[in-house]
Every structure is written in structure tokens, then in C-alpha cells.
Chains A and B, each alone.
Chain A
Amino acid sequence: DAGVTQSPTHLIKTRGQQVTLRCSPKSGHDTVSWYQQALGQGPQFIFQYYEEEERQRGNFPDRFSGHQFPNYSSELNVNALLLGDSALYLCASSSQNTEAFFGQGTRLTVV
């Protein structure tokens, strides 16, 4: 079992650009959540996808959007990047009544 896999592991973008991050959930999991972790902080919930729809959303602007595919994998898109979007982006997968398992994260640097 490969667990939760995220790609890419690192990337550098310029302010104003757009970025897409990808996540494949753990086998048997159908729910994907995305978190943003700034340096020295705990992860902050962005949103959650289940059955290809956004089920819950945290306090993030509309520049953050996502998608879930029929195979349960997911994408996080961020438009009009700001310097403050620099962070570790974490994907977590789960299924009904199971705990969440996290991937290794994508480290995004906005310059």
C-alpha cells in the first residue's frame, strides 16, 4: 500500500501565477482533505472532497479551488499566487469513520 502520495514534492512559483497540486489517496479511502501548513504553525483546513464534490470548506479565499476525480484522486488549484501562499500543502485521505492519513506534502515557494 503506497499510502497517500502527493506531487510534486517542491515547486517555486512567481507571484500572480497559478499552481496545481495533486494527491492520490490511500487505497480504500474515498475522502480527500487539503491543509495548508505555514512554517511553525499547525495545518489549517482548506477544504474536503467526497463523491467529487466539495463537502466542507475552511476560511480560505476563492483563489483556492479543488477537484476530485472518479478514482478519488484530487487536485488543489491556487490562482493569483501571493507571497503568503508559501507553505507546505498537505493532503489527507480517509473514509467514513476512519482517521485521516497524510501525505508527505508539497512545499510551495512563491517568489
Chain B
Amino acid sequence: QKEVEQDPGPLSVPEGAIVSLNCTYSNSAFQYFMWYRQYSRKGPELLMYTYSSGNKEDGRFTAQVDKSSKYISLFIRDSQPSDSATYLCARTAGGGNKLTFGTGTQLKVEL
């Protein structure tokens, strides 16, 4: 079993839709969770960073962590074509420790 599981997609939605991206993880020792966005042929860009259960909002983005079910989600409201990218979830033990990534979900937002 992979430490972080993520549906690779691709996921295609119309502009303005609410997007839900999900990951599950297997090791409950890790307390920090991130979402990265990666455009084609670019490095990952940090979107959201959270270290507790519950929701964290930043503009159109909401990260949700459910430690009891080992489930992490990213919601994108009012999706735009510029949101088309691969979204990577990651977890770490914190304090500059290594990141363990999922495979990434490819998202396409169509006009």
C-alpha cells in the first residue's frame, strides 16, 4: 500500500464548477499536510499547508483534513481555466522532514 494514495484523473470540469480533489494516507504518524499545484513542465507550487484536522481557507481554495479517516481534500470554488494543472497532495512529519507525495491529479477546467 502506498503511503499516500491519489486518483490520477484526468478530471475535467466546466468553468465555475466546484472541484473536489482527494487523497488518503496510511501512516497516522504524520501531522502536516500540503497541497501543491504543478503546471506542465514546472516545479510544484505550494497552495495550502495545514497541520490539524478541520478546514483551512485561502481565497477560492479550502483544504480539509480528517485524521480519523486519514483523508485529505482540496476544494476549489469558481474554478477557472488557469486552475488547469496537476494537483499533488503531500504529507510530512514536519520540521523540514521529507515530503511524501501522491501521484497527482490532473485537472482541466474548460471554458
Interface residues of A (CB under 8 A from B): 4, 31, 33, 35, 40-45, 48, 50, 56, 58, 88, 90, 92, 94-105, 107
Contacts and interface: CB of A to CB of B under 8 A. Distances in A.
Classify the secondary structure of B's interface with A. Answer: loop
B44 A102 contact: yes
Contacts, number: 62
A31 B96 contact: yes
B46 A100 contact: yes
Given A42-B6, A102-B45, A103-B43, A94 B96 contact: yes
Interface in B85-111: 88, 90, 94-104
A88 B100 CA distance: 16
Given A42-B101, A43-B101, A102 B96 contact: no
Contacts of B36: 102
29 contacts: A31-B96, A33-B99, A41-B104, A42-B4, A42-B101, A43-B44, A43-B99, A43-B101, A44-B101, A45-B98, A45-B99, A45-B100, A48-B98, A56-B98, A90-B43, A92-B99, A96-B96, A99-B34, A99-B46, A99-B49, A100-B96, A100-B99, A102-B36, A102-B43, A102-B44, A102-B45, A102-B46, A104-B43, A105-B42
